[in-house]
Structure 1
């Protein structure tokens, strides 16, 4: 657990959120109202006790009027072209949590050094042993997902889709949606999130 907490603190998501909130002279209660998230959850995030899932980060980014990539920037990188070599994505690997429980997936930023981008690409790995922890989320924007290996079930609104290696799907993320691995093998895919800022 100590190693996990140290890893969470190293990401500095909570510190970034707190700094942005304080610059805007917002209280935790103000942020809770703007995001429709609970004040205790936001406090846990700011104190690096919880790694928020992407949907939660999107809500916070919208409330603080910053692009989602603000939470993935490591340096002031203004290159026109960014290459992430094999293995480097692990530097921005994280398992989000929802309601205090880890979500059944890891996500790895594939463009963690690029600022001012309109898309967020991720390598996503789904843990089939934690499928019961999958929670539907919704947020402004659109998503694209391409399955590299394994089987994944997508719940989108009232519809369910079975996705296998080579399949792709594009959806409106304003609708409640969730993804989870099927079977006993870890499933992997490339996800691209687009948000209007």
Structure 2
């Protein structure tokens, strides 16, 4: 599975971005802010574009002009990095599930860091309409969203006719699985939530 982690901003980039955002949010011109802060327009442009490191005195004057406390300028720089996981289209790890045959694949769209796994997300692809499926049962709750195709899905003794755009949420402890593929190919997003047990 390929995941992407964006690079961390250098301090100069972060400060420049914050100053520029604040200036633009107030619809202030670069030239006006530079003049009031007592620096050249070129210098302010270089600060905003992280082309120079600047003194605390200059940053303090810019904060005064922009009406923001200096502490706010630095407040989010050292916050913990985000831990979002981006899986690009087609990069999900292929997983073999019990009873799956040719024409039926699961691509895992996430992996959970740390000792506790509280959910899994799969892109399920089915393209063999004659395939027979086992039933599955697992702890937690499952959410299905049908992106493409048409099928009948079994949950316990109930059958649900699903078309593209339909969603189904159910208790995973009760045996469930595709009953009949009516229109292939089928692409089904499956999210299993295991809770905090």
TM-score, length of structure 1 as denominator length? 0.51
Q: Deviations over 1:80-120 (max 9, x none)?
A: 1111112211xx1134343xx73762110111374445211
Between structures 1 and 2, the one with greater helix share: 1
* Mapping for residues 53-68 of structure 1, pairs under 5 Å: none
In structure 2, relative to structure 1, the CA distance for the partners of 1:124 and 1:192 (3 Å cut) is same
Q: Runs of 5+ in structure 1 lacking a partner? A: 1-77
Q: Runs of 5+ in structure 2 lacking a partner? A: 1-80
Q: What is aligned with 1:64?
A: none
CA distance in 2, matches of 1:103, 1:138: 21
Q: What is aligned with 2:184?
A: 185
1:189 is displaced (CA, Å) by 1.3
SS in 2 for 1:88: coil
* Mapping for residues 1-197 of structure 1, pairs under 5 Å: 80-89=83-92, 92-98=93-99, 102=101, 105-112=104-111, 114-115=113-114, 116-132=116-132, 134-180=133-179, 182-196=181-195, 197=197
In structure 2, relative to structure 1, the CA distance for the partners of 1:117 and 1:94 (3 Å cut) is closer
The alignment yields a C-alpha RMSD, in angstroms, of: 2.4
Contact 1:150 1:164 (8 Å CA) reproduced: yes
In structure 2, relative to structure 1, the CA distance for the partners of 1:110 and 1:94 (3 Å cut) is same
Q: Computing the radius of gyration over CA atoms, which structure comes out larger, 1 or 2?
A: 2
1:184 is displaced (CA, Å) by 4.8
In structure 2, relative to structure 1, the CA distance for the partners of 1:94 and 1:127 (3 Å cut) is farther
CA distance in 2, matches of 1:181, 1:195: 27
SS in 2 for 1:131: coil
Contact 2:148 2:163 (8 Å CA) reproduced: yes
In structure 2, relative to structure 1, the CA distance for the partners of 1:145 and 1:88 (3 Å cut) is same
Q: Runs of 4 or more off by more than 6 Å in structure 1?
A: none
Aligned length: 115
1:129 is displaced (CA, Å) by 3.7
